[in-house]
Amino acid sequence: MRLTMLPGFLLLLPLAEIAGFVLVGKTIGLWATLALVMLSFVAGMMLLRRQGIGILQRMSMEGRSGALPGRELLRPAMFVIAALLLIIPGFITDIIALLMFIPAVRDFGWNYVSRRFVVVGTAGNVRRPSQSPDRDGGSTVVDLDEGDYQRTPNGKSPWSGKSLGE
């Protein structure tokens, strides 16, 4: 989805969710509809509690070890997103959340995300995607080593630490 379509999507989603409530309510009844909404909320809260803390611990552990996050963090991250979608009342968001549990959808998500991000580590190692997100070549990335850039103090600068009267 293009980023320019996001405001329209956010405006139309509540209307679509209300229409979904009306259709499901007519089909299975009011109490069964409310029970399904409450069940998805409880399932989302349980999943968020279980996966949310786990992914934060894994990200912290990988950050301390210096490993670059990758595909192994996508699965729990998508579970957290699915949990948040389950918490939002509505059947469309629940369907999107349930789709995120399918491994093929998660693989599609990984392929979509991995082409658009470059992860740079602290040691200077760079993991570049196979295809650049900027296909027309409009942006330039300059990768400098520690020796390529040096900062020399300017004595005339007011922030150099010297007083103006010296």
Q: Quickly state the pLDDT bin for 27 (edges 50, 70, 90).
A: very high
Question: How confident is the model at residue 18, as a pLDDT?
Answer: 93
Nearest by Cα to 27 from 36, 14, 16: 36
Question: How confident is the model at residue 122, as a pLDDT?
Answer: 52
Question: How confident is the model at residue 131, as a pLDDT?
Answer: 44
Q: Count of CB atoms within 10 A of residue 3's CB?
A: 6
Residue 14 has pLDDT above 60, yes or no: yes
Residue 23 has pLDDT above 60, yes or no: yes
Q: What SS3 class is residue 119?
A: strand
Question: How confident is the model at residue 111, as a pLDDT?
Answer: 80
Q: 44-53 pLDDT, tens per residue? A: 999 888 877 7
Q: Quickly state the pLDDT bin for 137 (edges 50, 70, 90).
A: low
- CA–CA separation, 47 vs 41, rounded Å? 10
Q: Count of CB atoms within 10 A of residue 59's CB?
A: 14
- Residue type (1 letter), 155: G
State pTM to two decimals: 0.62
Question: How confident is the model at residue 132, as a pLDDT?
Answer: 47
Please count the CA atoms within 13 angstroms of the CA of 8 that sit on its side-chain side.
5
